[in-house]
Amino acid sequence: MFSAIIFDCDGVLVDSEVIAHEVEARVLSSIGLHYDPHEFKARFMGMSDVAFRAALDADGRERLGRSILAEIEGPMDAQYRHAMETRLAEVPGALEAVCTVRGLKAVASSSREAALERKLKKTGLWEHFAPHIYSAEHVIHSKPAPDLFLHAASALGVSPRDCLVLEDSVNGVTAAHAAGMRVWGFMGGGHMDEQSRARLEAAKVERVIEDWAHFTQALSSLA
């Protein structure tokens, strides 16, 4: 069994990844930087904003011969904000499922702290986790390093080996394994597909969770 559950946010609690990928693809394509959607998800999902933008800038220098940060940051931030304000919702069933978790729980997300707060408050999830809500800004090295999950476990007062992590990205799964935690892969976000499932299985998640109803059933089976 386990003493605490640590949840990723984007694509697990809130259906933000599908929105973010649309914005990112549109902005990057507008400056001539194109990616295969599946490869983009596999490479970048779960990264902190700082690491993500550094990787994009490195690609710009390599493929376009220039730094692209000045070109993409303003449009990307503006489009993110508008899309999240107008379209963001919980992953269907997240709030109901979280309310059934009576033990210790936390959020550990690669999002920036302010953005994480906005997303969780907009979807009604904030109060069910606060104060145990941790962002990439709480640690030096975010996912795929284990630091963020270890920070959350320490704040909860539990051993890493007694934590279960729910993640949708290989970077997140890698971080959970490195932290010595159990990890389930989550397929319920709007951005997930069969290639996503294959990547989670290849990353050796303990089990694949189809949606929040399946998560609740899986928890009940462990009781």
Q: Which of 8, 15, 49, 211 is catalytic?
A: 8
Q: What is the 3-state secondary structure (H, E, C) of the chain?
A: CCCEEEECCECCCECCHHHHHHHHHHHHHHCCCCCCHHHHHHHHCCCCHHHHHHHHHHHHHHHCCCCCHHHHHHHHHHHHHHHHHHHCCECCCHHHHHHCCCCEEEEECCCCHHHHHHHHHHCCCHHHCCCCEECHHHCCCCCCCCHHHHHHHHHHCCCHHHEEEEECCHHHHHHHHHCCCEEEEECCCCCCCHHHHHHHHHCCCCCEECCHHHHHHHHHHHC
Q: Where in the chain are the domains? A: 4-15+89-222, 17-87
At the top level of CATH, the class of 4-15+89-222 is alpha beta
Our answer to whether residue 59 is catalytic in this structure is no
CATH node for 17-87: 1.10.150
- Read off the pLDDT of residues 53-65 as tens digits, 9 standing for 90 and up: 999 999 999 999 9
- Read off the pLDDT of residues 123-162 as tens digits, 9 standing for 90 and up: 999 999 999 999 999 999 999 999 999 999 999 999 999 9
- Return averaged pLDDT per consecutive 10 residues of the chain, 223 residues in all: 95 95 96 94 89 96 97 95 94 96 95 94 97 96 96 98 97 97 97 95 98 96 80
Nearest CA among 125, 64, 63, 65 for reference residue 93: 125
- pLDDT computed for residue 99 by the predictor: 94
Q: Which of 10, 49, 147, 168 is catalytic?
A: 10
Our answer to whether residue 8 is catalytic in this structure is yes
